[in-house]
Amino acid sequence: MVDLDMEKFENNYVNNKIISASRQGRYSLIKGEFEIARTYYKISIVSGGFKQILWKIRSIIGFILSFFHMDVEFLADFFGKGRINK
């Protein structure tokens, strides 16, 4: 039996929104679209309260680095997550 609880559906939607916006911000930084990246990072940071706190921390770091026109790839490389751009 499938449990289609509206609260679970809304939680899943908010979690996916936070993660998706953070990832899109990272891709925008790689492409050099710093203002667009900040927009995505803001969405990730303010959505959903304290849900997905690690993704929000990643977004805060990306948001700050976007002002310095840097991407987060050196951090991904440092933590062993792998670079998207080579």
* CB neighbour list of residue 76: distance below 8 Å, 6 or more residues apart: 82, 83, 84
Rounded mean pLDDT of the chain? 89
> 86, 75 in Cβ contact below 8 A?
no
pLDDT digits (tens, 9 = 90+) for 22-52: 999 999 999 999 999 999 999 999 999 999 9
CA angle 40, 43, 49 (to 5 degrees): 150
pLDDT tens sequence across 18-29: 999 999 999 999
Better-scored residue on pLDDT, 2 or 47: 47
